[in-house]
Amino acid sequence: MSGGFDSWIDIGALEDIPSAGARVVKTAQGCVAVFRTANDQVFALDDRCPHKGGPLSEGIVHGTAVTCPLHAWVFSLETGQAQGADAGTVATYPVRVADGRILLDGRRLARRVAA
């Protein structure tokens, strides 16, 4: 992916993700979890819990938060910050929905590769 102007990548239809659920997108550097909330808002985060690497895409989605399936840390989907007593951050990626299609910002993915 170039760092060009039109860097939004179509990764699928909103309907492909269950409401209050998630699916993953594979990248060369690991998986990105794409979440859909009960109100059809979409978020993208690294699919790796900073605690012990749990796949966040498999957690229960409630409001705009997800509970990690392995040891129940809770993360804000908006900021990637762990909530409550736990400390840790998950990287987030720009993602948007247009005409029912989910678009992920390829520039940010590319930057992650470079980093």
**Interacting span for ligand FES (CB under 6 A) from 8-16, 68-76, 90-98, 101-109:** 68-76
Q: Read off the tokens for 23.
A: 């699916």
- Should residue 88 be labelled a site residue for other proteins when binding is judged by CB under 8 A? no
- Should residue 62 be labelled a site residue for ligand FES when binding is judged by CB under 6 A? no
- Should residue 52 be labelled a site residue for ligand FES when binding is judged by CB under 6 A? yes
Ramachandran assignment for 17, one of left (phi > 0), alpha (psi -120 to 50 degrees), beta (any other): beta
- Should residue 70 be labelled a site residue for ligand FES when binding is judged by CB under 6 A? yes
- Should residue 91 be labelled a site residue for ligand FES when binding is judged by CB under 6 A? no
Nearer to ligand FES, 53 or 63 (CB): 53
CB-based contact 14:28 (threshold 8 Å): no
CB-based contact 25:31 (threshold 8 Å): yes
Ramachandran assignment for 53, one of left (phi > 0), alpha (psi -120 to 50 degrees), beta (any other): left
Q: Read off the tokens for 115.
A: 């980093």
CB-based contact 48:27 (threshold 8 Å): no
Considering only 15, 29, 87, 88, the residue that binds other proteins (CB under 8 A) is 29
- Should residue 54 be labelled a site residue for ligand FES when binding is judged by CB under 6 A? yes
Site residues for ligand FES per CB under 6 A? 49, 51-54, 68, 70-73
